[in-house]
């Protein structure tokens, strides 16, 4: 059974996750036990590129959480749901919450010299962060949806730590954002115009992948 820093994953949970990933079109996950993390390498019909291993792409652990800077809280799927269209919201970070585990993975066929286009998958549900109908307008609410890798699920990570939505025509200047700069539990993850790197209020758009 895989281990992370002395903690075991329950075998049934791991099997359930494998089943969900397979149902979403993934091949059997390849789990690699390293010194302090377990990397997950996935292939989604040739969409996911697991050759690009760096801290902003696929080399992220099962226990990584998406923590937003301004509140110090983490992104979770509402109610730990496994169904399409479940919303994403912030909540106090929890080691035991599977609904807060995410893995960011680069797509294949990124334009030469460009930042990797990423899909961001919730490990608990095996579904991906998704903009309904590919919308990027202000206040578009994020959801989870079956992973397919189309533009609705594509983002790039800016050097600032902002995640910008990508479209068929390139960068959108619309970023993941906690609605209203709220500090409250349950505040929703939405799209909003990307703030300038030196903006005093940028914190509700800055996300870190943390253990």
DSSP state of 75: E
DSSP state of 166: E
Which residues are paired to 65 by β-bridges?
101, 210
DSSP 3-state percent helix, strand, coil across the chain (nearest 5):
15, 35, 50
Q: What is the pLDDT of residues 63-111, one digit of tens each?
A: 589 999 999 999 999 999 999 999 999 999 998 888 999 988 888 666 6
Look at the block and give the residue holding tokens 């996935």. Answer: 42
Q: What is the pLDDT of residues 154-169, one digit of tens each?
A: 999 999 999 999 998 8
Query: Going by C-beta distance under 8 Å and a sequence separation of 6 or more, which residues neighbour residue 197?
Result: 159, 160
- pTM more than 0.75: no
Q: What is the pLDDT of residues 159-208, one digit of tens each?
A: 999 999 999 888 999 999 999 999 999 999 999 999 999 999 999 999 99
Question: Using alpha carbons only, how large is the chain's radius of gyration in Å?
Answer: 16
- The helix or strand, by DSSP H or E, that contains position 104, with its residue range, turns out to be strand 102-106
């Amino acid at each position: 059974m895989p281990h992370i820093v002395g903690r075991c994953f329950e075998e049934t949970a791991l099997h359930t996750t494998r089943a969900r990933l397979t149902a979403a079109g993934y091949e059997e996950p390849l789990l690699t036990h390293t010194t302090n993390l377990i990397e997950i390498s996935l292939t989604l019909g040739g969409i996911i590129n697991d050759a690009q291993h760096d801290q902003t792409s696929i080399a992220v652990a099962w226990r990584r959480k998406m923590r937003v800077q301004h509140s110090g809280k983490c992104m979770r799927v509402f109610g730990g749901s496994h169904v399409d269209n479940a919303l994403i919201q912030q909540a106090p970070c929890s080691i035991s919450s599977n609904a807060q585990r995410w893995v960011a993975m680069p797509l294949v066929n990124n334009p030469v010299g460009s930042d990797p286009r990423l899909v961001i998958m919730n490990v608990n549900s095996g579904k991906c962060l998704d903009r309904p109908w590919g919308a990027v307008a202000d206040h578009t609410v994020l959801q989870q949806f079956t992973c397919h890798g189309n533009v609705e699920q594509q983002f790039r990570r800016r050097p600032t730590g902002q995640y910008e939505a990508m479209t068929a025509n390139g960068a959108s200047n619309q970023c993941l954002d906690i609605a209203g700069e709220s500090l409250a539990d349950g505040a929703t993850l939405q799209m909003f115009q990307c703030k300038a790197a030196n903006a005093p209020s940028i914190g509700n758009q800055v996300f870190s992948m943390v253990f």
